[in-house]
Amino acid sequence: MKAHKASFTKTLFIKVVAATTLLTVLLANSAFTRAQTVHDLDSFKIAVINNSSGSDDILSGKYQEGLEQITEHYRPNTGISYAWEYELGICAANLKMKQLTKAEAACSRAITTMPRQMKRSRQGRYLHSIALSNRAIVRYLSADIAGALADFNKAMTINQNSIVKQNLAVVTNSLAISNHKLTTPAFAASTYGTSTTE
């Protein structure tokens, strides 16, 4: 294990706009689709912790290699204070590989293993909201719309950052399009059936 991982306090000094930021956002470049929306979800942003085990591979699209690196350095249920970093990486890699069950479990562990003390800091709230956003994406892709919206709402309550806002906007726009597609044919059919001649 790396010596700098001995304490989670390094996350308290995150500078989001600085070059030394620990948080890196992946644009989801895979074309995820759901049968209900048939919507290209390229615009989702998925977060991993930069410079944590496997993050370089995950960022370069080598998701399986990233997972292998993580498992070399991390064993779940070991009680380490930075377990959430690894879990967030596992979540992102599985999400990118469309392994949604594994991704959701890892996202949930990232959220629950994040230390309470860290969640109280400004940067910790930011990271907590990002982890919720990742899980919301997984839930949305798994057709758990209620779960996705609940996670997005909680994330927005914790920290209204641009990543969460953008991901939430993708979902709400997609749902609006889906709703429109579902109601338009019914409206057209009812209008056609009741047309009058003059």
Q: Which of 51, 59, 116 lies closest to 86, judged by CA? A: 51
DSSP label at residue 78: S
Residue type, 137: I
CA distance 105 to 112: 11
pLDDT of residue 179: 63
The predicted structure's pLDDT at residue 180: 57
Q: Is 79 left (phi over 0), alpha (psi -120 to 50) or beta?
A: left
Tens of pLDDT along 36-51? Answer: 333 444 679 998 888 8
pLDDT for 182 equals 52
The residues of the chain scoring below 70 in pLDDT are 1-42, 77-79, 178-198
Let me know the angle formed at the C-alpha of 163 by 158 and 166, rounded to the nearest 5 degrees: 110
Domains of the chain (ranges plus CATH)? 3-193 (1.25.40.10)
- For residue 117, give the 3-state DSSP assignment: helix
